[in-house]
Amino acid sequence: MTNKRVLITGAAGFLGSHLCDRFIKEGFHVIGMDNLLTGNIRNIEHLFPLKQFEYYHHDVSKFVHVPGELDYILHFASPASPIDYLKMPIQTLKVGSLGTHNLLGLAKEKKARILVASTSEVYGDPNVHPQPEEYWGNVNPVGPRGVYDEAKRFMESITMAYHNFHGVDTRIIRIFNTYGPRMRLDDGRALPAFMSQALTGQDLTVFGDGSQTRSFCYVDDLVEGIYRLLMSDYHLPVNIGNPAEISLLQFAEEIIALTGTKQKIIFQPLPKDDPKQRKPDITKAKQLLGWEPKVDRKDGLKITFEYFKQALGK
């Protein structure tokens, strides 16, 4: 057991709740914070009886105060799927800007190390493939996805400014597509959409011709990468994701095979500024953290499918 205290924002979300579990397991005292805009309290209910867990219902876009000492902060609060940030554009911009500013201020005051959750979306619709951390991206700041992309790009800038100007101990992770239990059924991203469509007898919707690619990382692998980055001494951005690339059409076919459903695949027009390719270059994560994904997509999808079946009462 350790007496170290960690604040995790977005604690009731998909990634935040898995991080709470991991830090409890590592013996930390965990303070979870969420305003439940897109998170679900059920994801962390099992932690409520524990002495080493406490929960604050709070919007980090407003001033953040946590009494007592604080060793680490993980900033994971944000709408993260297109369906959410198109519905809540202002909140998305605020949590990435004001929220990050508030938490960096808290880190400075408490002399805590802070890790901020950035995203592969900072690369936009990339002209470089796979995407290394040195690539500056191809983002449309006034397009519909700009509210998320630019919030995260600002998050990285202000984090570096606090590091360079105030000497705050910072870490920046760029997260690529991740999946696993506790994803929301109505999340709008490819995997939950395909699985809930397959389980409810609907045809699977693929946007465009389905040739656009994604790389899917299982949540346990991602959490391991986050933990290693937090404990490392590297302050520049690091990609964490699974470089096993697959087209969305192939992915839809994999889901149909896994679920044993008879639905067909239908095609819809491609959303504006939808990235055509997405694959992390994880050279840095391998070299600096000794990290690479371990869970095979076939195994990860089986576990996730069981979760979705249960969630839908199937």
| Domain limits, the chain | 5-180+217-242+279-294
What is the pLDDT tens value at each position of the chain, 314 positions in all? 568 999 999 999 999 999 999 999 999 999 999 999 999 999 999 999 999 999 999 999 999 999 999 999 999 999 988 889 989 999 999 999 999 999 999 999 999 999 999 999 999 888 998 999 999 999 999 988 999 999 999 999 999 999 999 999 999 999 999 999 999 888 888 899 999 999 988 999 998 899 998 899 999 999 999 999 999 999 999 999 999 999 999 999 999 999 888 888 999 888 776 778 889 999 999 999 999 999 999 999 999 999 999 988 87
Residue 53 phi/psi, 5-degree rounding, is: -130, 135
SS3 160: helix
The catalytically annotated residue of 148, 162, 179, 227 is: 148
Nearest-angstrom CA–CA distance, 272 and 23: 38
Helix spans in the chain (H): 14-25, 82-87, 89-110, 146-166, 190-199, 219-231, 248-259, 283-289, 297-311
Give the CATH superfamily of 5-180+217-242+279-294: NAD(P)-binding Rossmann-like Domain (3.40.50.720)
Angle at 116 between CA 113 and CA 119, to 5 degrees: 155
The helix-helix angle for 89-110 and 146-166 (nearest 10°) equals 10
What whole-number distance in Å separates Cα of residue 282 and Cα of residue 284? 5
Alpha helices of 144-247 — where are they, by DSSP H?
146-166, 190-199, 219-231
Is 218 one of the catalytic residues? no
Q: What pTM was computed for the model?
A: 0.95
Looking from the CA of 52 toward its CB, the CA atoms found within 13 Å total: 17
Place of tokens 């899917």: 216
Q: What are phi and psi of 249, to 5 degrees?
A: -65, -45
Q: How far is CA 253 from CA 158, 211, 264, in A?
A: 42, 13, 9
